[in-house]
Amino acid sequence: MFELLKSLLQMEVIVTILVGMAAFATVLTLAAPIFEGDKLRDRMKTVGQERERLRAAQRASLMGGETRLREKAKTDLISQLVEALNLRRIFEAESSRDSLRQAGLRSERHLIVFLAARFVVPIVLGILVFVYSSTVFANRIAPPMRVAATGAGLIFGFYFPRIMLQNLVKRRQESIKKAWSDALDLLLICVESGMAIEPAMQRVAREIGSASVPLAEELTLTVAELSYLQERRKAYENLGKRTGLATVRSVVTSLIQSERYGTPMGTALRVLAQENRDMRMSEAEKKAAALPPKLTVPMILFFLPVIFVVILGPSLILVLKLK
């Protein structure tokens, strides 16, 4: 076993493995668009399932049954682990549920897997770090350093699921934020043409799906909640909570006020659309103003040495010839 690890750690083998991985990643990147399915259709199918679940819950409520808006967790090994160790209370299941919803993961199964990952990943990563440091680097690393490396692996494994989830949330929010201005303009046009808010959102979801699949999914889910929830205000609040964006929450607040006080919705949407466009322009100007300081270090590292070589190179060649 030790001889096998020693042969795998040779420089030639490592370089060969890295080159193979790079070639495989290149082929996978080039072939991914060919095998990629229709994301909008798949996500709309998921939203359709969510709508059917809301319909079933509302029907059960009207029939006097128990209203359950959460999916029943499957009693498998992961569920038993979460329930036995009471991971819902330890890892604050409600805050994790909100983060998962912002990432587009709404089912109870996603929550159970995430909670189990926060418990299992640190242990697995800590064991791997300890075994690796005790076998490959047994003669180079002292025992206290192995314990420290194992602790670092445990800490990194504890935060790794949260980091991955936050990356998913950030990526989804960026997609929604980019298409939100156009969606708001389309919603304004539909409302001013005489459409109600539900068909207007449904139409905007169909039109904006090519620009942002997450935004189309959220609008479709909001239409479903407006149809089946008893309080329409709750549906709007859920939209702002699922996206986690201040621009969306401001529109949600205006929609709630229009529903409550009967104010013209078109006027509020027009003002919000203009504010959103101004905010988008100010953010673009901010990024443009921050560009020169960011280019300073790359210019010093990459451009100036080349300029010095071009300017001083011929002079150095002449000096060396004279010597």
Least confident of 16-30, 56-70, 222-236, 298-312: 56-70
For 268, how many CA atoms within 13 A lie in the half-sphere containing its CB? Answer: 15
85 three-state secondary structure: coil
Taking each helix axis as running N to C, give the angle between helix 291-298 and helix 265-289, from 0 to 180 degrees, rounded to the nearest 10.
30
* Per-residue pLDDT, 8: 57
Sign of the four-CA dihedral 62, 65, 67, 68? negative
Confidence of residue 43 (pLDDT cuts 50, 70, 90): low
Place of tokens 């990147």: 29
Tokens of 168: 């998913």
Q: Are 114 and 96 in contact (CB under 8 A)?
A: yes
Confidence of residue 69 (pLDDT cuts 50, 70, 90): very low
- The amino acid at residue 296 is T
- Give the C-alpha distances (Å, rounded to integers) separating 280 from 180, 189, 204, 277, 315: 10, 20, 20, 5, 51
If you average pLDDT over each of 50-54, 108-112, 136-140, which comes out highest? 108-112
One-character DSSP codes across 95-139: HHHHHHHHTT--SHHHHHHHHHHHHHHHHHHHHHHHHHHHHTTTT
* Per-residue pLDDT, 167: 93
Place of tokens 């009207």: 62
- pLDDT, one tens digit per residue, over 9-18 is 666 667 777 7
Angle at 306 between CA 300 and CA 311, to 5 degrees: 115
For 235, how many CA atoms within 13 A lie in the half-sphere containing its CB? Answer: 22
Rounded Cα distance between 218 and 212, Å, is 10
- Give the C-alpha distances (Å, rounded to integers) separating 9 from 13, 18, 145: 7, 12, 21
- pLDDT, one tens digit per residue, over 211-229 is 888 888 888 888 888 887 8
Q: Are 119 and 81 in contact (CB under 8 A)?
A: yes
Mean pLDDT of 29-42: 61
- pLDDT, one tens digit per residue, over 119-176 is 889 999 888 888 887 877 667 777 788 888 888 889 998 899 899 999 999 999 998 9
pTM, to two decimals = 0.67
R_g (Cα) of the chain, nearest Å: 28
Q: Which letter does DSSP use for residue 245 in this model?
A: -
**Number of Cβ atoms within 10 Å of the Cβ of 12:** 8
Tokens of 188: 């304004």
- Give the C-alpha distances (Å, rounded to integers) separating 292 from 279, 286, 288, 297, 315: 22, 11, 8, 10, 32
Least confident of 23-37, 120-134, 229-243: 23-37
- The amino acid at residue 3 is E
Give phi and psi for 249, each to the nearest 5. Answer: -65, -35
